[in-house]
Amino acid sequence: MATADVLDTVLSVLRGEGIPVDELHETGKPGNGEYRIVLDSTPVRIRSRAVADAAPGTLEAVDPPTARTQVLFAAAGALSEKAEVVFDRLVRAVRLRGQCYTSAEIDTIVRGMPLVDRYATPEPALRDWALIFRDHYVENSVGFLLGIERVGIDPKWIFALSKGDRTLHRDRVHAWFLHRGYRSDILDNSVINGSADTAERAYALAVNEQVDQFIREAHASGRKVLVIDDGGLLAQGYGADGVLDERIDGALELTVSGLKRIVNAPGELTVPVLNMARSRLKTMLGYHEIADSCVRRLRAILPGEKFLGRHVLLIGFGTLGARVAHYLRSQGVRVAVVDTDMLALIAAAEHGYETYTSAAEALRAHSPFLVIGNTGELALTEEELPLLPDGVYLAGFATKDFSLLSEGFEGLRSTEIPHVGVRYTLPTGTTATLLGDGRSLNLFEYEGIANRGYDAYRAGTLIAARLLCREAGRLGPGLHLEPVDHAIDEAGLFAAYYEQYLASGSRRPAAPAQDGTAPETR
């Protein structure tokens, strides 16, 4: 934010508190960003100054760079209870405004998702729907929801929910969602997984009440409710019979873990759910980008480690695990694979990997410096932990992989290593460092997948949302995969993706000349 934005935000709070704005006085030289106001007899100074050479707050740098400002609120003495309320609101408002994306940054995010822009055309059917969107708070979620707006859902009828991951710019995303007019909160994955503590569960219950109220308000206004979910919300019963009072009208499920929760949830599914998780789009394109982000984050969080030629144990050779294995091997890593699924193990062996049916068997044969989990289930049992070599790193790309450690047990000691993870001392005296926060490592203090890398999947999700809102009645209750693949094929998304990013000889149009004329073409 610029210093002028600070003044605008302060004046907005004062008006909201009923404090005459003419009581805010500029001090020092005009335009230097210094002000004084008296709150219930206590003077408060407000000072701001530009911060030079700040790093970009988005994945792509903005030209010219976004202005950054440092702001100081200083009370001259003790504040009364009434004054402290106003003081705190001033600080919160400026902090929230300062975290919000600028229009130039938003333009950069939108330009980074050209396929979403291409398919975000008005769809009359969506005008009568409200949206509950639960996913990671990353830039491509911002670009996607802007696309949803252009398709036809009013911002005031969008409720965004974070999954609770420590993504790099989550506070900026939350601030911008609120600024845009969405409702925004956290429904933490730990609550969905059943590993949350008492405080987290209590907070989740409060958020659930907000979701219930949002659904009630939408239905009262004649709207249907669409859920786009990255695993778990539906399993609480919003689309099932006899579980919760409030009911949604249709959903898109983005993850395999979410599909499992839906299938295992109590109550019969009574709404159509489009299966994005098993779609050809995610299987053929999405998982390559996810694997790429996993390996890039892994290398970045261990910049001092040698990877070339060393042993890594990879547990789970499924859709994601197979791609992670290939990426690592292409970088000279010696990868051994564990899987309990015999077809997956055969595929790994026939691709030239050493294979094992259990982690115990693999750990007796190798001393890996790194163990990677891709299973979505417990990757290591308590009996297998003593077999880990001392000093090993553990990298989980699904939350439950190493939850045995992150949830703790008797005799386990831990030390947090900021920006890296948690080092555990096992009852045997050996140590293992769980990288990140025990959740998906590619979302730990990181943006995850590049905006252009997830552009096609987000565009496909738009296409599927349009389909569901047009044809919810015809689709009927249950999980649907074939209509997703058909709609994406019919929309020509794969051809658009190829031409946008991959076609040989394709290049972006040159920028217009300074005189505004089009560049000469040959």
Three-class SS string for 95-109? HHHHHCCCHHHHHHH
pLDDT at 488: 98
Q: Strand 413-417 and strand 421-425: pairing?
A: antiparallel
Q: Tell me the fold of 283-443.
A: Rossmann fold (3.40.50)
Q: Give mean pLDDT, residues 48-64.
A: 85
pLDDT, greater one: 463 or 261 = 463
pLDDT at 518: 43
* Residue in this structure with the two tokens 């349009």, named with its chain if needed: 466
**Peptide linkage before 64 cis (omega within 30 of 0):** yes
Q: In Å, how far are 136, 229, 463 from 237, measured between CA atoms? A: 21, 13, 25
| pLDDT 10s digits, 472-495 | 999 999 999 999 999 999 999 999
Euclidean distance between CA atoms 95 and 92, whole angstroms: 5
Question: Average pLDDT, whole number, for the chain?
Answer: 91
Domain ranges for the chain: 3-99, 107-280+451-501, 283-443
Number of other residues whose CB lies within 10 A of the CB of residue 298: 24
| pLDDT 10s digits, 200-257 | 888 888 898 999 999 999 999 999 999 999 987 887 788 888 777 899 999 999 998 8
In CATH terms, the superfamily for domain 107-280+451-501 is Adenosylhomocysteinase-like (3.40.50.1480)
| pLDDT 10s digits, 169-179 | 999 999 999 99
Q: Say if residue 438's pLDDT is above 80.
A: yes
Number of other residues whose CB lies within 10 A of the CB of residue 81: 7
Class of domain 3-99: alpha beta
pLDDT at 513: 46
Gyration radius of the chain over CA positions: 26
| pLDDT 10s digits, 302-335 | 999 999 999 999 999 999 999 999 999 999 999 9
Q: Say if residue 512's pLDDT is above 80.
A: no
| pLDDT 10s digits, 413-431 | 999 999 999 999 999 999 9
Q: Give mean pLDDT, residues 86-102.
A: 94
Q: Which of 301, 327, 297, 300 is nearest to 312 (CA)?
A: 327
pLDDT at 188: 84
pLDDT at 517: 45
The dihedrals phi and psi of 321, each to the nearest 5 degrees, come to -60, -40
% of the chain beyond a pLDDT of 90: 75
Q: Say if residue 508's pLDDT is above 70.
A: no
Q: Where are the beta strands (DSSP E) in 76-223?
A: 129-135, 158-162, 183-186
Same fold, 3-99 and 107-280+451-501: no
Q: Give mean pLDDT, residues 341-369.
A: 96
Residue-wise DSSP of 357-368: SSHHHHHHH---
Q: Say if residue 519's pLDDT is above 70.
A: no
pLDDT, greater one: 404 or 190 = 404
